[in-house]
Structure 1
Amino acid sequence: MDTLSAQQAIASNKAAWNESAAHHKATEHWQGLLEAVGEPGFSCLDPTLTALLLQVGIKGRDAVQLGCNNGRESLSLYGLGASSVVGIDQSDAFLAQAAELASRSPHSPEFIETDIHHLPERLHGRFDIALITIGVLNWMPDIALFMRHVASTLKAGGTLVIYETHPFLEVFDPQAANPMLPATSYFRREPFVQHEAIVYEGASKGAAAASYWFVHTLGEIVSAAIAAGLQLRHLQEYPHSNREEVYDQYEDQAAQLPMCYTLTAVKCPA
């Protein structure tokens, strides 16, 4: 995908996310978040990510979340002891939700509207921890370029923490007649294109701006991090799902698929 078409995909993804924001807010889950974020120790992070962040050392550290969505995970970092948190997302509609959640919270994160390819210079070399969670990497047309921008936010010795869906899971279609049969190549080059609202909470309501979901192999992700000057410290794969409920059917199989993974990498000194 050339630079122009990559930028078009990024812009279309932004429009699709903005259109989907209202669907996510019209849920019981949103109401629950509004009530829960008022607790000083609030965290919506699952045990896998919680344990990893505590192991890496989140307490007293400055953290940035790339692709923070409605800010619930950024706010959760305070519950684990982070000193300061910045959340970055290109969707102004979801950042409005993040601001609303933060207003109910005792904490004061900073939320910045920008895509990862246009980070303000004041974020360069600023953070001890850079966090990426489920559903971020696949919106990026160029994973190597993305990792270079992520690395730019870290201090020397700072740590990238990733908790993502396993790319092998993209081979399967959970809504197919036979969801256990591979439906596409692990080495697929073209993005999946969706013309319906992006929904992981709530209900989809008709057509929306096109969204582009890019498939990156685990090898490409690891290689991109290394090429960006990040030294791999940890990579672990898991048999549990950390994405939409429709994927739960792939758990607890006799021939178990890898469903998600965690990765940490440290920024090498210049």
Structure 2
Amino acid sequence: MTDYLDINRANWDDRAAAHAASAGYGVHRFADPAFLSHTVSFDRALLGDVSGLRGIHLQCHIGTDTVSLSRLGATMTGLDFSSKSLDEARRIAGLAGADVRFVQSDVYDAVAAAGDGYDLVYTGVGALCWLPDVRRWAATVAALLKPGGRLFIREGHPVLWSLDYDRRDGVLALEEPYFEMAEPQVYDEGGTYVDTEVAFSHNRTHEWNHGLGEIVTAVLEAGLTLTGLVEHTSVPWRALEGELMTDLGDGEWQLADRPERLPHTYTLQAVKRPV
């Protein structure tokens, strides 16, 4: 199973600079001390006050959300397995004047790499699909948190990840596995989720879906208490091609026809129980 790390790391290393240069991430806007990433701006209503918290952002990529959480008053560590992504993250933190620590590590080795005793573990959209074992992820989250510390994650909904993305007839069809499987879904696709003219060399990925029940159960089994679970009818990228999605104008996209048919994303929050 270790080869999935090398395969996926090469994919993310290949795309880090293009992501940082894209209009979608708006990196240049971090020169404005009031600017926050769209993702963190969306999360604030449910995230609440994080000032004074010691937090770690798992799978932080180029660190725009990590820097944004720092701007809200948290003392942040960003963790990612891609060295090229962390090069961009450190550059962005410098541009923003943010004092953020960045650590290179696979998620499952986070405690050894970044320590424990955190008040907040934060994970953004598009992260869990790169991990083969959601129970091991939840156990890692619990090990990172101090008693009373909390988990916050907004993620793509497993129903969204299950759709047939090749259809162009407007029908929402489930094609990919909804539940976690032992073997990965293997893709070989050029391009990326931001607009760019860059041609990439490493296009193969190994990915896994995790059912919502599996995620919740993993969190509970790891010793956390669920404090919130909200399903959303929007997602922060154009998840489906053609005319299927409508741009809501605030960085979020929504199914154009009867969006209530599809859970686009969810926000899950949990607290580590006292020993």
- Relative to the length of structure 1, the TM-score reads 0.88
Aligned partners of 1:231 and 1:245: how far apart in 2? 31
CA drift of 1:265 comes to: 0.4
CA drift of 1:192 comes to: 2.4
Name the SS of the counterpart of 1:223 in structure 2.
helix
CA drift of 1:131 comes to: 0.4
- Are residues 179 and 216 of structure 1, via their aligned partners in 2, closer, same or farther at CA, if it must alter by over 3 Å? farther
Aligned partners of 1:268 and 1:163: how far apart in 2? 21
Judge conservation of contact 1:167–1:186 (CA < 8 Å) in 2. yes
Deviations 1:76-114 (A, max 9, x none): 0122222x1000000000100001101112221000011
CA drift of 1:155 comes to: 1.0
In the alignment, which residue of structure 2 is the partner of 1:151? 142
Match 1:80 to one of 68, 72, 97: 72
CA drift of 1:39 comes to: 2.7
Matches within 5 A, 1:44-193: 44-46=37-39, 47-54=41-48, 57-82=49-74, 84-121=75-112, 123-184=114-175, 185-187=177-179, 189=181, 190-193=183-186
Identity %: 30
Aligned partners of 2:94 and 2:42: how far apart in 1? 28
Name the SS of the counterpart of 1:202 in structure 2.
coil
In the alignment, which residue of structure 2 is the partner of 1:220? 214
In the alignment, which residue of structure 1 is the partner of 2:35? 42
Aligned partners of 2:21 and 2:166: how far apart in 1? 24
CA drift of 1:25 comes to: 3.4
User: Which stretch has the larger CA shift, 16-25 or 126-135?
Assistant: 16-25
Unpaired runs of 5+ residues, structure 2, are 247-253
- Relative to the length of structure 2, the TM-score reads 0.86
Name the SS of the counterpart of 1:128 in structure 2.
strand
Name the SS of the counterpart of 1:244 in structure 2.
coil
Deviations 1:139-174 (A, max 9, x none): 000110111112211111000001011111122134
Name the SS of the counterpart of 1:236 in structure 2.
strand
Aligned partners of 1:257 and 1:124: how far apart in 2? 38
Aligned partners of 1:267 and 1:110: how far apart in 2? 24
Unpaired runs of 5+ residues, structure 1, are none
- Are residues 21 and 179 of structure 1, via their aligned partners in 2, closer, same or farther at CA, if it must alter by over 3 Å? farther
Aligned partners of 2:91 and 2:267: how far apart in 1? 30
- Count of residues in correspondence between the two structures: 260
